[in-house]
Amino acid sequence: MKDYFSVWIIPKDDAPPKILSIERKKFKRALAIAGIVLLTGLFMFGDYVSLLIKRKELDRLRQENSQLKNRLLAIKKDSEELEKKLKLFEDYAKKLNTIAGLESPYALKEVGGVGGGEFTISPPAVSRDRSAQLDIGKLSSQLTKLKKKAQNLDINFDILYKFFKEQQELLACTPSIWPTRGYLTSVFGYRRDPFTGRRAFHKGIDISAPIGQKVHVTAKGIVVKTGYLRRSYGKYVMVNHGFGFTTVYGHLSRVLVKPGQRVKRGDVIGFVGNTGKSTAPHLHYEVRVYGRAVNPLLYILENLGI
């Protein structure tokens, strides 16, 4: 015989009571199912609340991470710009040290070489394609090195300032500007001679430019020679600047100065040409120190691109 639970429902009015009966096993089964459903619902609700909290925290962390990345990228960009400017100042200081003949304890020894091929006289824009590397330790180390380099440069410039303050005449007589504008087609040093094909030493630099372009003297001085050498310089000008400095300007189309004439930095002394031993219009420019040819690029200060 089956066992039942009975529920009596007695209305407020005089209506007869109602009786609901359910088998005991079914009631227990329904109660168990209801309990399982309730517990499952509670667990799901708890997981949902926990997920909302975690999602909110994740969004906060993502926002902080994005801000940190942007900040690090900005710092990296600033440090690269600082590095570029320090490099320009470093090159400038090296040339000033060369001009002054100083061997200070802070002298900058890593002088950048001049590569082969064709170079523009006007300072080219520097571009670097680098991926952002968000390495905080590396960035911190790089900034420390840049700070140290800036301190050394500051000390070096202080030494140079004191030196040149007492040597203004030396600075005025030191060849330090480009004699003309164009493209650097041949540098100082050994090269293959364009006429013989043999290895030969080139005592200056060649600047490709159109015929008739102005040639400027690179420092204060006195014109000591002008003339024409068919097998070498063609029409040329030689200027003595004092302090052991002499400059030579070759392959000119026309000479505007005479021996004994005093000139100052920037004066026009002639025009670019194609005279003498030349394959195309250009200016051959030499710097000599006590008669010995030196690299003119070590003395040109105009490429400080800041």
Query: Do 93 and 111 sit in the same domain of this protein?
Result: yes
The pair of structure tokens assigned to 138 is 């590396």
Q: Are residues 8 and 92 in the same domain?
A: no
Structure tokens at 202: 């080139």
In a domain, 304, yes or no: no
In a domain, 130, yes or no: no
Q: pLDDT tens digits for 159-188?
A: 766 766 667 777 788 898 999 999 998 888
28 within domain boundaries: yes
Mark whether 290 and 226 lie in a shared domain. yes
Torsion from C-alpha of 87, 244, 219, 120, nearest 10 degrees: -40
- Co-location of 244 and 290 in the same domain: yes
Residue 254 and residue 285 in one domain: yes
184 and 282 in a single domain? The answer is yes
When mean pLDDT is compared across 14-28, 195-209, 223-237, 251-265, the lowest value belongs to 14-28
* Domain C-terminal end among 64, 86, 113: 64
Q: Domain check: are 202 and 285 in the same one?
A: yes
Q: What pLDDT is recorded for position 13?
A: 67
Looking at the predicted structure, is the pLDDT value of residue 139 above 80? no
Look up the domain containing 161 and give its range. Answer: 68-121+135-171
**3, exposed or middle or buried, with CB in 10 Å at 0-12, 13-18, 19+?**
exposed
Q: Where among 47, 64, 81 does a domain terminate?
A: 64
- Indicate the average pLDDT of the chain: 76
In a domain, 145, yes or no: yes
User: Is residue 216 domain-shared with residue 145, that is, in the same domain?
Assistant: no
CATH number for the domain spanning 249: value is 2.70.70.10
What mean pLDDT do residues 218-236 have? Answer: 92
Please tell me whether residues 187 and 294 are part of one structural domain.
yes
Q: What CA–CA distance (Å, rounded) separates 233 from 297?
A: 20
Number of compact structural domains in the chain: 3
